[in-house]
Each structure stands twice: as C-alpha cells, then as structure tokens.
Amino acid sequence: MNNSVRYSNIRISEIGAINESLKRSNEILYLFSAANGLNWISLSKIGVQKCLYLAEILSPTKEVILAFLNFIYHHKGPYSKDIQNALDYLVSLDAIEIVSFTTVGINAYADYKITEAGISLVENLTLYPVEKEKLLWIQTVMKVVDAYKDCYGLNEKYRGVDRIIDLVYQEPTFKEIRLRQAKGEIIPFGAENKLTVELINFLKTIEQELPDKFDKNKYKLNLETILLSFFEYLYVEHLSESQSNA
C-alpha cells in the first residue's frame, strides 16, 4: 500500500465499499467528521439517528446515493436498529470513541466523537469521488442542522443537536406516519417518499414563480438555500403544532 492510502492502523480493505453495512458505517463516520468540522463536542445515538435520517430523506435534493437504512416509526422519531451495530463497529476500529456513558433504568445512553484514526480514515475513503460526494452532502445537511439546533421553542429536555428531534417530527413523510400512530411502520425513501419529494421539488422550482421583473438567475436557489427553506418549514410547523397543543 502506498503512502497516499495509508492511515493509522486501519486498512482500507477493512471498510471497503462492497458490503452495504460497511457503506452505512462510512456514512455514519462522515456524520462524525462533519460534527468535528462544526466543533461539536460529541454526538449521541439520538443525534446520529436524526441527522442520518435527514441526510437520507433529503437526498433527492442533491440526487446523492446513500446506503439507505431501514428507519421505522418510533415515539422518539425515526429509528434504525442498524445504527447501534454500525457505531459498535466504528468503535472497534478506533474510528470513533465513547466520551460519556450513562444508564437510566434499562436504557443506556452514550456520546461519541471521531478519533484521529477516524479522521485519517475519512481522508482516505474520500479519495474516491463517490465517497467525497457523500461527505460533502452530509456536511451540507449538518451545517443546516447546526443553524437550527438551538432555536427557540425546541424541546428543553434534550440538549444540543438532539433538540432537532422536534423538527424531524414535522418532516412530511414521518409526520404522516406519526399522525396515524403506525408504530413500527417502515418509512419510505426514494421514489416512494412522495410527500417530502413534493416539498423538495416545490422549493427547487419556486424561483420560476417569481414575477417577470425579477432576475431568475440572480434569485435561483442554491442547495443550502433549499435546505434552509426546508428546515424553516419544519420549524414553523413545529411552532404551529406546539401553539395548537398549548
């Protein structure tokens, strides 16, 4: 192996892109890389679940291909049982580490952060263009999450990025299932994800509805603006629902 693809004590062959579970581990590792770039101290499993869900459900915005997990309806928002296995795998590789661990009754809570070995692993995985594209997409989503995680009116019983659970509750596809209380139902992605895709497509083309006197090239929405608009929709829906329930 030449020096350009050498990093720490982790071999690239250990986390190759053939096996789907390893692809998912890559994408979860990119979440931690993005969090590190935003100077977040750590990410909890709740934060990982919600950020990865948003990156997947919003992927039609960029038409990026992710190794989709099966998320189901859960009272704490979209949930995938495969994420804990991926986190354990990344810990075993020394790509991420546990920075805190607590138990409340039968529930265990852990916070994780990327290690130096994990940073090197990301650098080498993203030598491949398809992996670089995934990282850039996840970084973009996480930047918008960072802008909204401390917004007024989000649930105070959660901390940091975990507070976006209130916004995820308003994501159109999940919300439709939540209102039906369809416990355990798999949340659709891709072409089957009609409600969210319809909103994304509306935001993508909104500049076409501007009056003729506007320069439509000047006001064309870029990727981050579309995501910000989407999150603003989630935030307004959350405030509206909270006020209705007050």
The pLDDT, as a whole number, for residue 200 is 75
Q: State which H helix or E strand residue 168 sits in.
A: helix 165-168
Whether the CB-CB separation of 86 and 48 falls below 8 Å is answered with no
Whether the full predicted model's pTM is greater than 0.85, yes or no, is: no
Q: Is 160 left (phi over 0), alpha (psi -120 to 50) or beta?
A: left
150 contacts 234 by C-beta, under 8 angstroms: no
Residue 98: phi and psi, rounded to 5, are -85, 125
C-beta contacts of 74-77 below 8 A and 24+ residues apart: 74/183, 75/183, 76/46, 76/165, 77/46, 77/49, 77/50, 77/53, 77/165, 77/168, 77/169, 77/174
pLDDT tens per residue, range 86-141: 999 999 999 999 999 888 787 778 999 999 999 999 999 999 998 999 999 999 99
Residue-by-residue pLDDT tens, the chain, 246 positions: 443 444 445 555 454 443 566 778 899 999 999 999 999 999 999 999 999 999 988 887 776 666 556 788 887 788 888 888 899 999 999 999 999 988 878 777 899 999 999 999 999 999 999 899 999 999 999 999 999 999 999 988 888 899 999 999 999 989 998 988 888 888 877 656 677 777 777 776 765 554 555 454 554 557 788 888 899 999 999 999 998 887
pLDDT score at 109? 84
Inter-helix orientation angle 194-205/223-245, to 10° = 120
Of 95, 132, 131, the C-alpha closest to 113 is 95
What contacts 232, CB < 8 A, 6 or more positions away? none
All structural domains of the chain with their residue ranges = 3-245
Residue 3, pLDDT score = 39
Task: Show the tokens assigned to 60.
Answer: 């039609």
- Coil/strand/helix, residue 226: helix
pLDDT score at 17:
40
